[in-house]
């Protein structure tokens, strides 16, 4: 995406409008979905339990409902992740963001990570559902990030994603660039975690991110518009 020619609508179309708090209520989800509809965001990013409710709120719109699976730790087995994803899809999710098993990756069990990714990708793609693999980069070395991205390049999920937003830190332009350089054109990169303003968002897009996960979507779009008007 060329930032110089980008419109507010195009930027909004890259946004996964996020509310993943444990204390979320129906009022929170109503606000989230209303904002997503009004601004043309790509998706609402939620936990799996409220998927059906948000799907009903967004019925007839182009806004996707994205369920976070095994969130935020990734410490469930593959069968459990598949069950949660398939249940979310049944209830109306059209995108899935799952957390890979970080411990297995750090132990060097790349066969496990590949099998997990293959099974999850197959479970989603058979329903024509987009799938994103969350790495949680703050717990990984650069080599581990590259290893996971190399597996993704082979397995081909739709996106790989930097962070849950619940770790010790979030996305960095350097990690986004490493991920994108590794997977190449066949897999996209989503930057998430700590993206609270247009300047940070811009750096992620310049590094290669094609989706942005944030709870500050409206603020970012407003700042983008203001910056564009000042030029």
So where are the chain's domains? 8-230
Give the Cα-Cα-Cα angle 174, 180, 186 (nearest 5 degrees).
Answer: 175
200, 18 Cβ separation under 8 angstroms: no
Q: Residue 175 catalytic? A: no
Distances (CA, A) of 24 to 19, 50, 61, 167, 170: 8, 9, 22, 19, 21
pLDDT-derived band at 135 (thresholds 50, 70, 90) equals very high
Residue 153: the pLDDT is 98
Residue 229: the pLDDT is 79
Beta carbons within 8 Å of 172's beta carbon, 6+ residues apart: 137, 162
Pick the CATH number of 8-230 from 3.30.559.10, 3.40.50.300, 4.10.490.10, 3.20.20.70: 3.20.20.70
177-182, long-range: CB within 8 Å, 24+ apart, which pairs?
177/207, 177/208, 178/142, 178/145, 178/146, 178/149, 179/135, 179/145, 179/149, 179/208, 180/207, 180/208, 180/209, 181/208, 182/146, 182/149, 182/150, 182/153
Query: What is the distance between the alpha carbons of residues 155 and 149, in angstroms, rounded to a whole number?
Result: 10
pLDDT-derived band at 48 (thresholds 50, 70, 90) equals very high
Of the candidates 16, 132, 158, 161, the residue annotated as catalytic is: 161
Of 4 and 44, which is predicted with more confidence? Answer: 44
Residue 75: how many other CB atoms lie within 10 Å: 12
Of the candidates 94, 97, 158, 175, the residue annotated as catalytic is: 97
Q: Residue 97 catalytic? A: yes
Q: Over pLDDT 90: what percentage of the chain?
A: 97
Mean pLDDT of 79-84: 98
Q: Residue 132 catalytic? A: no
Of the candidates 81, 132, 190, 203, the residue annotated as catalytic is: 190
- In this model, does residue 220 exceed pLDDT 70? yes
Q: Which residues pair with 97 in a beta bridge?
A: 68, 132
- In this model, does residue 231 exceed pLDDT 80? no
Residue 215: the pLDDT is 98
Mean pLDDT of 112-124: 98
Residue 2: the pLDDT is 85
- In this model, does residue 95 exceed pLDDT 80? yes
- In this model, does residue 87 exceed pLDDT 90? yes
pLDDT-derived band at 137 (thresholds 50, 70, 90) equals very high
- In this model, does residue 230 exceed pLDDT 80? no
């Amino acid at each position: 995406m060329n930032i110089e020619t980008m419109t507010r609508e195009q930027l909004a179309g890259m946004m996964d409008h996020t509310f993943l708090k444990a204390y979320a209520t129906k009022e929170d989800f109503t606000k989230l979905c209303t904002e997503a509809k009004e601004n043309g965001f790509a998706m609402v990013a939620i936990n799996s339990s409220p998927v059906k409710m948000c799907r009903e709120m967004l019925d007839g719109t182009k806004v996707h409902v994205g369920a976070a699976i095994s969130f935020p730790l990734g410490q469930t087995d593959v069968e459990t992740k598949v069950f949660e994803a398939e249940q979310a899809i049944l209830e109306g999710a059209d995108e899935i963001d799952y957390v890979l098993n970080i411990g297995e990756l750090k132990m060097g069990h790349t066969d496990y990570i590949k099998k997990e990714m293959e099974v999850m990708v197959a479970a989603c793609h058979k329903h024509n559902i987009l799938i994103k693999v969350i790495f949680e980069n703050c717990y990984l070395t650069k080599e581990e990030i590259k290893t996971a991205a190399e597996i993704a390049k082979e397995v081909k999920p739709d996106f790989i994603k930097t962070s849950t937003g619940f770790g010790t830190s979030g996305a960095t332009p350097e990690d986004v660039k490493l991920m994108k350089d590794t997977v190449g054109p066949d897999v996209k990169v989503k930057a998430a975690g700590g993206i609270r303003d247009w300047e940070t968002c811009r750096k992620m897009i310049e590094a290669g991110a094609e989706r942005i996960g944030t709870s500050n979507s409206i603020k970012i779009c407003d700042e983008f518009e203001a910056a564009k008007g000042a030029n």
